[in-house]
Amino acid sequence: MAIVHDVDLPDDLYEQLQELATAENNSINAQVITLLRNALLAKIKQPQDQRRQNVAKLLEESRRRRRVNPADFGLPDSTDLIREDRNR
Protein backbone atom coordinates (compact mmCIF):
# COMPACT_ATOMS: atom_id res chain seq x y z
CA MET A 1 0.00 0.00 0.00
CA ALA A 2 1.33 3.43 -0.91
CA ILE A 3 1.91 6.01 1.79
CA VAL A 4 1.27 9.72 1.30
CA HIS A 5 3.15 12.10 3.56
CA ASP A 6 3.43 15.84 3.97
CA VAL A 7 -0.07 16.85 2.98
CA ASP A 8 -0.70 20.34 4.32
CA LEU A 9 -4.35 20.71 5.29
CA PRO A 10 -5.90 23.96 6.45
CA ASP A 11 -6.84 23.79 10.13
CA ASP A 12 -10.57 24.11 9.52
CA LEU A 13 -10.52 21.29 6.96
CA TYR A 14 -8.61 19.05 9.35
CA GLU A 15 -11.13 19.78 12.12
CA GLN A 16 -14.03 18.89 9.81
CA LEU A 17 -12.24 15.70 8.82
CA GLN A 18 -11.64 14.84 12.45
CA GLU A 19 -15.30 15.45 13.36
CA LEU A 20 -16.50 13.32 10.45
CA ALA A 21 -14.12 10.50 11.35
CA THR A 22 -15.29 10.58 14.96
CA ALA A 23 -18.94 10.59 13.91
CA GLU A 24 -18.41 7.55 11.69
CA ASN A 25 -16.16 5.74 14.20
CA ASN A 26 -13.19 5.88 11.81
CA SER A 27 -9.61 6.95 12.16
CA ILE A 28 -8.64 10.05 10.23
CA ASN A 29 -6.62 7.81 7.91
CA ALA A 30 -9.60 5.55 7.17
CA GLN A 31 -11.85 8.56 6.69
CA VAL A 32 -9.46 10.14 4.17
CA ILE A 33 -9.31 6.86 2.24
CA THR A 34 -13.11 6.58 2.22
CA LEU A 35 -13.56 10.16 1.05
CA LEU A 36 -10.94 9.79 -1.69
CA ARG A 37 -12.43 6.50 -2.89
CA ASN A 38 -15.94 8.00 -3.05
CA ALA A 39 -14.68 11.09 -4.88
CA LEU A 40 -12.84 8.98 -7.45
CA LEU A 41 -15.86 6.75 -8.03
CA ALA A 42 -18.02 9.83 -8.55
CA LYS A 43 -15.53 11.22 -11.09
CA ILE A 44 -15.42 7.93 -12.98
CA LYS A 45 -19.19 7.50 -12.98
CA GLN A 46 -19.85 11.01 -14.30
CA PRO A 47 -18.19 10.47 -17.72
CA GLN A 48 -20.00 7.13 -18.07
CA ASP A 49 -23.33 8.85 -17.47
CA GLN A 50 -22.42 11.52 -20.02
CA ARG A 51 -21.51 8.84 -22.57
CA ARG A 52 -24.87 7.16 -22.03
CA GLN A 53 -26.62 10.47 -22.61
CA ASN A 54 -24.60 11.02 -25.79
CA VAL A 55 -25.52 7.56 -27.06
CA ALA A 56 -29.17 8.27 -26.38
CA LYS A 57 -28.91 11.54 -28.35
CA LEU A 58 -27.20 9.80 -31.27
CA LEU A 59 -29.86 7.09 -31.37
CA GLU A 60 -32.61 9.68 -31.35
CA GLU A 61 -30.94 11.63 -34.18
CA SER A 62 -30.53 8.48 -36.25
CA ARG A 63 -34.22 7.65 -35.77
CA ARG A 64 -35.22 11.09 -37.03
CA ARG A 65 -33.09 10.89 -40.18
CA ARG A 66 -34.84 10.26 -43.44
CA ARG A 67 -34.21 6.83 -44.88
CA VAL A 68 -32.42 6.96 -48.23
CA ASN A 69 -33.06 4.41 -50.93
CA PRO A 70 -30.00 3.97 -53.21
CA ALA A 71 -32.30 3.24 -56.16
CA ASP A 72 -33.61 6.81 -55.92
CA PHE A 73 -30.13 7.97 -56.95
CA GLY A 74 -29.69 5.44 -59.74
CA LEU A 75 -27.44 3.17 -57.65
CA PRO A 76 -27.73 -0.61 -57.98
CA ASP A 77 -29.12 -2.78 -55.23
CA SER A 78 -26.39 -4.13 -52.94
CA THR A 79 -27.81 -7.63 -53.24
CA ASP A 80 -27.22 -7.56 -57.01
CA LEU A 81 -23.67 -6.33 -56.49
CA ILE A 82 -22.91 -9.11 -54.02
CA ARG A 83 -24.37 -11.75 -56.35
CA GLU A 84 -22.34 -10.41 -59.24
CA ASP A 85 -19.17 -10.47 -57.16
CA ARG A 86 -19.79 -14.06 -56.02
CA ASN A 87 -20.39 -15.24 -59.56
CA ARG A 88 -16.94 -14.09 -60.71
Residue 21 forms part of a structural domain: yes
Domain of 37 in residue numbering reads as 10-57
Q: pLDDT by residue (tens digit) across 3-46?
A: 777 788 899 999 999 999 999 999 999 999 999 999 988 887 77
Q: State the Cα–Cα distance between residues 70 and 78, nearest whole angstrom.
A: 9
Q: pLDDT by residue (tens digit) across 63-88?
A: 888 777 878 888 888 888 899 899 98
Residue 49 forms part of a structural domain: yes
Q: Burial code of 54-67, b = ≥16 C-beta within 10 A, e = fewer? A: eeeeeeeeeeeeee
Residue 72 forms part of a structural domain: no
pLDDT of 17 reads 92
Report the pLDDT averaged over residues 56-64.
85
- Does the pTM of the predicted model rise above 0.75? no
pLDDT of 32 reads 92
Residue 82 forms part of a structural domain: no
Residue 5 forms part of a structural domain: no
Task: Give the N- to C-terminal CA distance of the chain in Å, as an integer.
Answer: 65
Half-sphere exposure of 58 (CA within 13 A, CB side): 6
Which amino acid would we find at residue 70? P
Residue 70 forms part of a structural domain: no
- Number of domains the chain contains: 1
Residue 86 forms part of a structural domain: no
Residue 26 forms part of a structural domain: yes
